[in-house]
Amino acid sequence: MSIGDIFACRIEKISSGGDGISFLKTPEGNKRVFIGLSAPGDELVCRITREHSHWVEAEIVEIHEASPLRMNPSCPFYGRCGGCSLQHLGYEAQLEAKKGILEEAFTRIGGFEKMPGIEIEASTPWEYRNRMQFHTVQPNHVRARSLSKKTIFPRSVSLLGLKARKSAEIVSLDDCPIADPLIRKALKNREDIKTPPGRDRFTVYARNGLLLSEGGTSRGKTALLGREIGIDAGVFFQSNGEMLEKLCGDILEAAEQAERDLPAADIFCGVGTFSFFLTGLFPRMELVEINRQALALARENLRFAAGKMEFFALSDEAWAKQAEKSCGFVVADPPREGFSPGLLAWFCEKGPPRLVYVSCDAATLARDAGTLKKGGYTLLSLKLFDFYPQTAHIESMAVFIRDQGRYGE
């Protein structure tokens, strides 16, 4: 088959990118097909849009029989805006799809035949997102169909938008149902957000009445578990405060079971969020973060912390080269790329008895977990935190221990 060909298919499951997956029989064998905006159980007529040696992409021409998991999207921009990819699925179906993606990653990539059951921490499905990155668009460049008909802005006011689905085009928005209520209000009343001059992309943070923006007031404090922590709109901070509080609580619980007479490390520490709740548990905390602006905020947030705090403006690999062997506990929250080879080698050679790995990518977590298993670690628990409902993004927390546990080889 080639681009433009029409075929019928049934959707089997959801891929890590949010597309539905089906299979086409070809002379070379079954070829995987990725179909956007489809649901498991859909009976579809589709058209091939891209072809690769081992897989193809297709678009829906007709829904012959809709899956019972389908629902009507709540956002009028859904399908054009690239911010969400699963609004056409009910929330429980979204959670099950993400759990399946995480399980498959650990089996196929990590090589796990046995593993603990995956717990799921569900989120509020709507108005959950506190941190968002917007693009600015001048009104004379905006397609009228991108905005609701009731939206009228002065020509001197730039509009806000998000990247379109599978394209570099910007879709201008006057609402976003996954955004914090204060961000939704600001989208309707554009003058509430000041955009930074000369920039077409900037970040906004809002929670509990606080509104920060890179173009206006960028620094402030947000409450987590009853305590205030300093943040900056221009520095990475988790985008779902409700889930972040639950994650911090679980990390604290895991840390309390570690060897408390030994030092601990917080790698990829950001603004020091996790260490903020771990102070006093260990005689020394080492905070590692290559982003100096984030590390400066971490210093501020932990300036009155109990115990000794040491800060390292290093990459994870550079820190691993000079790290001591005596850590009793490590929490690490790497970017999508996961651990560097150097840090993985350090864990396998002289890592701590207990490691908490916070991940934003199921594939790299599973890859690293497989290496840690070979290096003497046992996967004690795995939990999915749904930081991003209506999208295919997966955040999870894996707890590893050395040389003990029911699930070791």
Q: What is the CATH number of the domain that holds 47?
A: 2.40.50.140
R_g (Cα) of the chain, nearest Å: 23
- Indicate whether 164 and 262 sit together in one domain: no
- Indicate whether 325 and 378 sit together in one domain: yes
Provide the residue type at 230 as one letter.
G
In which residue are the tokens 């099950």 written? 96
Could you tell me the end-to-end alpha-carbon distance of the chain, in angstroms, rounded to an integer? Answer: 44
- Indicate whether 381 and 291 sit together in one domain: yes
- Indicate whether 246 and 228 sit together in one domain: no
- Indicate whether 210 and 276 sit together in one domain: no
Cβ distance 236 to 270 under 8 Å? yes
- Indicate whether 278 and 322 sit together in one domain: yes
Answer whether residue 82 is part of any domain. no
Query: pLDDT tens for residues 17-49?
Result: 999 999 998 777 789 999 999 999 999 999 999
Work out how many domains the chain is built from and give that number: 3
Query: pLDDT tens for residues 202-244?
Result: 999 999 999 999 989 999 999 999 999 999 999 999 999 999 9
pLDDT given for residue 208 in this prediction: 95
Extract the runs of DSSP E, i.e. beta strands, from 225-283: 227-232, 264-267
Residue 217 is part of which domain span?
131-232
Answer whether residue 225 is part of any domain. yes
Query: pLDDT tens for residues 336-378?
Result: 999 999 999 999 998 999 999 999 999 999 999 999 999 999 9
Please report, to the nearest 10 degrees, the dihedral formed by the alpha carbons of residues 211, 217, 221, 222 taken in order. 20
Closest residue by Cα to residue 212 from 232, 238, 185, 237? 232
Chosen domain end from 38, 70, 102: 70
User: 275: domain CATH number?
Assistant: 3.40.50.150
- Indicate whether 257 and 363 sit together in one domain: yes
Question: In this model, does residue 251 exceed pLDDT 50?
Answer: yes
pLDDT given for residue 138 in this prediction: 66
- Indicate whether 258 and 396 sit together in one domain: yes
- Indicate whether 175 and 204 sit together in one domain: yes
Answer whether residue 182 is part of any domain. yes
Answer whether residue 83 is part of any domain. no
- Indicate whether 275 and 369 sit together in one domain: yes
Provide the residue type at 252 as one letter.
L
Chosen domain end from 199, 232, 265: 232
- Indicate whether 181 and 42 sit together in one domain: no
Chosen domain end from 191, 216, 232: 232
Question: In this model, does residue 147 exceed pLDDT 60?
Answer: no
- Indicate whether 139 and 11 sit together in one domain: no
Answer whether residue 361 is part of any domain. yes
